[in-house]
Structure 1
Amino acid sequence: MVFRSFDGRVAASLMVTGFVLSLAGCQSAGKAMDNGALQPDPPKVKASDLRAYCPKVTLREGTAYFNSYAKGGQDDPSKLAYQAAISDVTRDCSRSDGTLTMNVAAAGKVVPGPMGSAGTVTMPIRVVVAQGSQVLYSQLHQYKLPITDTSAATQFAFSDPNVSVPVPAADTYQVFVGFDEGPPKAAKPAAARPAPKVARKKKPVTPAAAPAQPPTQTSISDIPR
């Protein structure tokens, strides 16, 4: 009797296991036959693609922070609306028909300042691909981030998935991402003061010289004797 009871339990266990496997097979087949159409297998990743060159992204010094101030309060800490900071950068690459396409991403946070308020902040983020002194790609994005809580930092994640350049013959590409406020605004030149008027001195009028008298002809008769 003991052996029969044991065999019954084993048989039941095998039946449950078979049912689960059958159900899993049906579910798998259901995914493959989505809407009655056989779905193609996802493309396989080649080992050559994993070893292929994908340029490193660099956060250039001086482009990791961006400050925004209330109107008229430039560079005044008490007028700071918010400060944005990039803390991480990354990318992924794909190749097709001689073109290298990259998705360049940057992540960070926005910290409200004394003049911060809820709303949407706009951050100028530029992505650049260069080869030596030659710029192959440069795009300035006006990235908008909604701010709802001014008592804490707000995280953000930016990406540019359309970075396309020719596949290089050598590993010589440089990729940069960072905040770009553009060149500093030149101060308006002070209005030129009009030159003081200098009174011109009138030249003294030189009286015209009296016309010279013709010389008197002296004769012998005029000389006193």
Structure 2
Amino acid sequence: MGVPLKTGGLFARSLVMGLALIAASCQSSDNPTRDVPDMAKPPVVRESELRAYCPGVSLREGTSYFSTYAKGGDGDATKVIYQASLSDTTRACTYEGDNVTIKVAAAGKVVPGPAVRPGTITMPIRVAVVRGSEVLYSKLHQQQVPVSDTTAATQFMFTDADITIPMPPQRNVSIFIGFDEGAKK
């Protein structure tokens, strides 16, 4: 026992609209190459690149969040200018000769506090590449984020694409990203 279809109902109108869209997309054009998808060759990935080692990246414990206070307001919740956090991290490696170049990235968010004003804020983000206790790379970045809406969070992406190290003979290299406030005054 089937369900009768009403020709004046929502189903019929949807069917007519769908058929009209299909007919419109089948019309020919004056430019025959306009509708042809881009058939660019995909990049060739060598087997050595598939087997190559790309060190993992993570947030260093205790450095994934950062708070800034108005002058003299450290620890006072009413004096918070903003709070920032870093979350998801990723990396990509390219290989040339005996070196590996690593591009790392982290997603971040800035949440305005009671003392925020519109403008650009600067956050200290450090990237460190280590093998045991040996530091292979360390750089402090000054990440700038424009904050125009003082009532909502602002998302940002942090990227460091300038990491080049010798290809590690063992898979024992780690990459860390985190806020670095420096030595306490």
- Runs of 4+ in structure 1 over 3 Å off: 22-25
Structure 2: unaligned runs, 5 residues or longer = 1-25
Aligned partner of 1:158 in structure 2 is 158
Shift of 1:144: 0.5
Aligned partner of 2:105 in structure 1 is 105
Deviation string, structure 1 residues 105-137 (Cα, Å, up to 9, x no partner): 011200000101100110000000001110000
Aligned partner of 1:179 in structure 2 is 179
Q: Secondary structure at the match of 2:32?
A: helix
Deviation string, structure 1 residues 161-194 (Cα, Å, up to 9, x no partner): 0011000111010100000001212xxxxxxxxx
> How high is the sequence identity, in percent, across the aligned residues?
53
Give, in whole Å, the separation in 2 of the partners of 1:116 and 1:28: 48
Question: Where do 1:87-106 residues align within 5 Å?
Answer: 87-106=87-106
Decide which structure has the larger Cα Rg and report it: 1
Matching residue's letter, 1:136: L
Shift of 1:51: 2.7
Residues 166 and 117 (structure 1 numbering): CA distance in 2 closer, same or farther, change over 3 Å?
A: same
Aligned partner of 1:129 in structure 2 is 129
Shift of 1:67: 0.4
Give, in whole Å, the separation in 1 of the partners of 2:135 and 2:97: 21
Matching residue's letter, 2:145: L
Structure 1: unaligned runs, 5 residues or longer = 1-16, 33-40, 186-225
Residues 133 and 82 (structure 1 numbering): CA distance in 2 closer, same or farther, change over 3 Å?
A: same
Q: Secondary structure at the match of 1:78?
A: helix
Deviation string, structure 1 residues 11-65 (Cα, Å, up to 9, x no partner): xxxxxx9x99x9349x789x98xxxxxxxx6751113312311111011111000
Q: 68-77 vs 154-163, which deviates more?
A: 68-77
Aligned residues: 158
Give, in whole Å, the separation in 2 of the partners of 1:63 and 1:152: 23
What is the TM-score of this pair, normalised by structure 1?
Answer: 0.64
Q: Secondary structure at the match of 1:48?
A: helix
Shift of 1:70: 0.7
Aligned partner of 1:144 in structure 2 is 144
Residues 70 and 97 (structure 1 numbering): CA distance in 2 closer, same or farther, change over 3 Å?
A: same
Matching residue's letter, 1:45: V
Matching residue's letter, 1:60: R
Give, in whole Å, the separation in 2 of the partners of 1:108 and 1:43: 30
Give, in whole Å, the separation in 1 of the partners of 2:138 and 2:50: 26
Match of 2:32 among 4, 23, 36: 23
Give, in whole Å, the separation in 2 of the partners of 1:130 and 1:28: 45
Aligned-CA RMSD value: 2.5
- Which of 1 and 2 has higher RCO (CA within 8 Å, sep 6+)? 2
Aligned partner of 1:61 in structure 2 is 61
Give, in whole Å, the separation in 1 of the partners of 2:80 and 2:48: 50
Give, in whole Å, the separation in 2 of the partners of 1:158 and 1:50: 26
